[in-house]
Structure 1
Amino acid sequence: STATSMSMADVEVSLLLAVLLVVGVVFVFLRDWRATLIPSVAVPLSLLGTFAAMLALGFSLNNLSLMALTISTGFVVDDAIVVTENVARYLEGGKAPLQAALLGAQQIAFTVISITVSLLAVFIPLLLMGGIVGRLFSEFAITLSVSIAVSAVISLSVTPMMCALLLRPRHGAQQGALAGLFERLFASLQAAYATGLRWSLRHRRLMQGLTGGTVVLTVVLFALVPKGMFPQQDTGMLMGMSEGPQDISFTQLQARQIQVNQVLKDDPDIAHVVSSIASGNGGQSGNTGQSFIELRPLDQRGAHADAIIARLRPKLARIPGIVVYLQAVQDLRMGGRAARTQYQYTLQDVSLSSLRLWAPRVLQAFAALPQLKDVATDQQTAGLQATMRIDRDAAARFGVTPQRIDDALYDAFGQRFVSTIFTERGQYRVVLESKPRGEQGPEALGAQYVRAPGGQPVRLAGLTATSIEATPLAVNHQGQFPSVTLSFNLADGVALGDAVAAIEAAKRGIGLPASVRAGFAGVAQAFNASASSQPWLVLAALLTVYIVLGILYESFVHPVTILSTLPSAGVGALAALWICGAEVGVIALIGIILLIGIVKKNAIMMIDFALERQREGHMDAEEAIYAACLLRFRPIMMTTLAAFFGGLPLALGSGVGAELRRPLGIAIVGGLLVSQMLTLFTTPVIYLLAEGLRRRHADHPSPHVSAG
């Protein structure tokens, strides 16, 4: 569709912009086109390798896979940046290019492997997610995992080779004025960081308390930020369901639907309208209609889809005898019945009479909730049924059989096809029916005539008695049981999580009998399932990363040091979502899980160098971590800013379908900002705490019984 094509084009622009921003960050820090080229090459090579893997796995380029590729641009240069920066450091120290490349790559190889493996470990819980959400995002996780794995291989093979060929020692005289200015600014920033780091190491209790405070604040913010499933999108398409009185005729419904279509077409932001009535498809019955509304392109209209719906509601409400429900068509829709509004709640019972009793009560309770609007039901029990009883004695006197009466009624009202007229220009079907004015009421049935065997016409009113009774238009079933689906939209500014909580409270107040099974359907059902599993998913990601880091470092305490960076990232992500008015949904949750893999690389780079210096015996723990922080400050800033600018186009996107991608970018950008400011100071303190615990454990080994 046009909306899908425009959405794909927008995310492709975001991908290109992310690549340019990441390359720009590398150039600003390295200030040399040769050095910039080396990590920049990792981006196209990683994307090329990812495309090859996607082709082999049968994946397609869609919104989710392109979103993964956009985010990956900030990841795939990380390893190459770390290797290039380390080689450049040896080169500036007087080593030959080839020797600098070998030494730099050898020293940093374990760090690169640790970062990559622990980052890939984050995606294991995503790949094991069940249900619709798991199937939906498995392609996202696999695409991102492949790009990260390919980038690690490139950084340990292609990057050192290019460093040996392209890097040359720089001298102060060779630097331009702008490069010199940036170098002085960075030196001032590093000096300020060194001062702050020394202060942090002198006030360890305070920094430990700050780390604990971020854990508490993360829990508080998670409780405060609204919960949802998927962001409400503007895809350029609206869907409308219209409903007339249950005893309405086809011609009356048609006339009112035409009025609805005219109101829709008069809106300046609507391009096309297609509608149908009483088709029996998409949840329609004889008194309902359906409209598909295409909006003008986003750059040619002045309002969002939700604003267009809001201004159409009062206009459509003025049309007598018909109610119209509008909703924006979403790219991601999960299960559920075709309903009048976006979210569904289903009631089931073995007894149809019990459903007829309780469904209106639940509907009334839901309609009173301020969190909901456009509450509707598919229960249609007020239809009219005309029953004609034949006076067989009177019919026998005239020689009229029941079959003749049935044929007469079918000729009048059944639109019987009787012939075809052929002309030079085409053919036309001949349909037999009574004049439209004869369809106004049930009295039209008795006004028809039937021809007796003798040829004389006999009025049906003299042969039959007609009675009018109430009857359901349709009885819906789900899982072979009679069911009623209540549907609703969310009130302005209300999150799905708040609406679900209000509905559950209202249900408890109604006191439904045990025979009536009630529950959410579609997106609301998927939200309930995912909301209960979200904490476990994050916990599984943390546990997986801890196990992987424990194996890599052969330690129980150093993985805790690395994972101590995560609470600050959680605070930043949740605070950014709250400030931007976004919800914690599936997309934002994936961003938070990605942060687990992103922010810990700072700690890994610090700890690897500190452990190396301690193993060499040159420094104690405090000196080693202090030196590591200053030495790794430049690559930490580079990799963090690369990931930041990789997520920034998603956070600031405003094109078609950008609402779906924005929470991912907001979570990553907010988490990186806060974690970068805090972990540069808290991680060294937590490292010293862990080292102290490790030494005390080593000084007091567990008792054992010696033989002999």
Structure 2
Amino acid sequence: LRSIEEYRNLILAWRNNAPIRLAQVAEVAEGPEDRRLAAWSGETPAVLVNIQRQPGANVIEVVDQVQNLLPQLTASLPADVSVEVLSDRTRTIRSSIQHVQMELLFAVALVIAVTFVFLRDLRATLIPAAAASLSLIGAFAAMQLLRYSVNNLTLMALTIAAGFVVDDAIVMLENIERHLENGERPLDAALKGAQEIGFTLLSLTISLIAVLIPLLFMGDVVGRLFREFAVTLAIAILISLVVSLTLTPMMCGRMLKTHGPKRADFLDKVIASYGRALDWVLQRQALFLFVTVATLAATALLYVITPKGFFPVQDSGAIQVTVQSPASSSFQAVAERQQDVAKIMLADPAVQSIASFIGVDGANATLNTGRMLVTLKPHSQRDSAAKVIDRLEAKTSNLPGLRLFMQPVQELNIDDQVARSQYRFSLSSPDGDLLNVWTPRLVERLASSPHLRNVSSDLENGGLSARVLIDREAAARLGVTAAAVDEALHSAFGQRQIATLFTQANQY
């Protein structure tokens, strides 16, 4: 069977030597597979395709491959069907990585500039600059071997490492400079300076890496997040130690020259002032010991009173919206309300596009719930996501019979369920009546708190229902089973798949 006419002419039975066809007892029409599922792109009916990467796949590579396949896919569709990308989550990822890359380059340049200011010698500045560059290049090579990707965490580790990797080289350089000022030859000064300071550099590096060891052994989601950060930073510091013990003395022996004490300048005056201040502090040890203890106590106190959170709320350029209608709402009423909300939001100057859908599926547990993904314009063309949410809530607050829950979409989310709000409290009991009693009480108590808003419950027990009582004696007399009654009611009021249509390219 390939067409509606063939289904209409389907013979169900024979009565009085005449066929009873399907068209005589039922209405046959084209329609979607599920009549109680609907989706829109803005205000236009659409089929939404949500693409997610497999675990371990690079999200940017997946998006690039999909973008390359779109022209081929579009060419195979009918001419009146358009394909457009409503939301691309990698835009914010690409933007953030680009910003961190610029910060990494700026950090390296700033470290080299500060080194030049204090060393006051171009040749001497090139030595720690080379050590920093080689350490970062070696860290990238180690990331390749460990199959780490260039992401925000690894780039952040390299940005922090840009300040650490020059320390060993500068300490080695300053010690060699001390011997050069005493008149020794560059090669002898390099060998003697490296022998004197080697153990110091080793202990300094070990102490820095020891700080990262707790991050390596953290468990759960936090441990998986910061493991790449800790490993990348530790590798960069280790490579800087090797470079400082090998390349830095060699470059000092080849590039630096013997010289006497340098002429006093502004920095020498700063160092002399620091020495006088240090002497003054050492003469009052008891006082400053008390200041140190008071500082530690103040640090502990500030840690206790400082607000804490798992991750800061991120403006990723997308807002997730849950539209809640009364439990007794019909599918048509929910669809109309969903469109009313979309029309109001599309009028906001910060909104670029909206993808919305209603119906029971993996995200919606009930028929009266709708979902929206609001894609915002670039940051330079709009306010922050928090201000946009406040503005949209004010515009939609007057819609009757609706509750809207909005929250910015986060790039990192450890929740395995789609929630209406940022926080969720689970209340469970094997006694359904007990849940019906205590859930409204808990919601009312939480809603009374001035620190919370948009408190709701997913307990949906206010919908319309009908109880069907079967006359079992009459059913038994007529040979009708309870399963037959259930099948008849399901066919009359529900939905079922009874066949599949096969065409040359697709099946329906």
Take 2:104 and 2:121, find their aligned partners in 1: how far apart are those partners? Answer: 24
Q: Is the 8 A contact 2:183 2:260 kept in 1?
A: no
2:342 corresponds to: 261
1:379 corresponds to: 459
Q: Is the 8 A contact 2:364 2:370 kept in 1?
A: no
Take 1:211 and 1:142, find their aligned partners in 2: how far apart are those partners? Answer: 33
1:330 corresponds to: 410
Matching of residues 406-417 of structure 1 within 5 Å = 413-414=493-494
Q: Which amino acid aligns with 1:233?
A: Q
Take 2:484 and 2:106, find their aligned partners in 1: how far apart are those partners? Answer: 76
1:341 corresponds to: 421
1:150 corresponds to: 239
Please state if 1:353 is matched with 2:433. Answer: yes
Please state if 1:38 is matched with 2:127. Answer: yes
Instruction: Give the number of the structure whose residues are more often helix, by fraction.
Output: 1
Which residues of structure 2 form unaligned runs of 5+? 1-89
> Could you tell me how far 1:326 is from its partner in structure 2?
0.6
Take 2:434 and 2:502, find their aligned partners in 1: how far apart are those partners? Answer: 56
Take 1:400 and 1:104, find their aligned partners in 2: how far apart are those partners? Answer: 100
Q: Which of 395, 399, 408 lines up with 1:315 in the alignment? A: 395
Take 2:478 and 2:206, find their aligned partners in 1: how far apart are those partners? Answer: 93
Q: Say which SS state the counterpart of residue 352 (structure 2) adopts.
A: strand
Q: Which of 73, 79, 84 lines up with 2:173 in the alignment? A: 84
2:306 corresponds to: 225
Matching of residues 512-551 of structure 1 within 5 Å = none
Q: Which of 291, 296, 309 lines up with 1:215 in the alignment? A: 296
The structure-2 alpha-carbon separation of the partners of 1:417 and 1:335, relative to structure 1 and needing over 3 Å to count, comes to closer
Deviations 1:606-627 (A, max 9, x none): xxxxxxxxxxxxxxxxxxxxxx
1:124 corresponds to: 213
> Could you tell me how far 1:391 is from its partner in structure 2?
6.3
Matching of residues 41-440 of structure 1 within 5 Å = 41-169=130-258, 184-301=265-382, 303-335=383-415, 337-389=417-469, 413-414=493-494
Q: Is the 8 A contact 2:322 2:372 kept in 1?
A: yes
> Could you tell me how far 1:367 is from its partner in structure 2?
0.9
Q: Is the 8 A contact 1:283 1:337 kept in 2?
A: no
Take 1:218 and 1:410, find their aligned partners in 2: how far apart are those partners? Answer: 67
> Could you tell me how far 1:251 is from its partner in structure 2?
1.0
The structure-2 alpha-carbon separation of the partners of 1:284 and 1:33, relative to structure 1 and needing over 3 Å to count, comes to farther
Instruction: Give the number of the structure whose residues are more often strand, by fraction.
Output: 1
> Could you tell me how far 1:15 is from its partner in structure 2?
1.0
> Could you tell me how far 1:408 is from its partner in structure 2?
7.2
Q: Which amino acid aligns with 1:60?
A: S
Q: Which amino acid aligns with 1:188?
A: K
Q: Say which SS state the counterpart of residue 466 (structure 2) adopts.
A: strand
Q: Say which SS state the counterpart of residue 374 (structure 1) adopts.
A: coil
> Could you tell me how far 1:184 is from its partner in structure 2?
2.3
Q: Which amino acid aligns with 1:372?
A: L
Q: Is the 8 A contact 1:236 1:295 kept in 2?
A: yes
Take 1:396 and 1:126, find their aligned partners in 2: how far apart are those partners? Answer: 70
Question: Structure 2 length normalisation: TM-score?
Answer: 0.76
Matching of residues 686-705 of structure 1 within 5 Å = none
Of 223-232 and 413-422, more deviation after overlay is shown by 413-422
Matching of residues 440-479 of structure 1 within 5 Å = none
Q: Which amino acid aligns with 1:350?
A: P
Take 2:296 and 2:376, find their aligned partners in 1: how far apart are those partners? Answer: 45
> Could you tell me how far 1:410 is from its partner in structure 2?
5.5
How many aligned residue pairs are there? Answer: 419
Q: Say which SS state the counterpart of residue 324 (structure 1) adopts.
A: strand
Take 1:121 and 1:404, find their aligned partners in 2: how far apart are those partners? Answer: 72
Runs (4+) off by over 3 Å: 169-172, 388-423, 425-429
Q: Which amino acid aligns with 1:13?
A: M
Which residues of structure 1 form unaligned runs of 5+? 430-708
The sequence identity of aligned pairs, in percent, is: 44
2:76 corresponds to: none
Take 1:282 and 1:63, find their aligned partners in 2: how far apart are those partners? Answer: 29
The structure-2 alpha-carbon separation of the partners of 1:200 and 1:402, relative to structure 1 and needing over 3 Å to count, comes to closer
Q: Say which SS state the counterpart of residue 274 (structure 1) adopts.
A: strand
Of 308-317 and 387-396, more deviation after overlay is shown by 387-396
> Could you tell me how far 1:427 is from its partner in structure 2?
10
> Could you tell me how far 1:409 is from its partner in structure 2?
5.7
Q: Say which structure, 1 or 2, has more relative contact order (CA 8 Å, 6+ apart).
A: 1
Take 1:395 and 1:349, find their aligned partners in 2: how far apart are those partners? Answer: 37
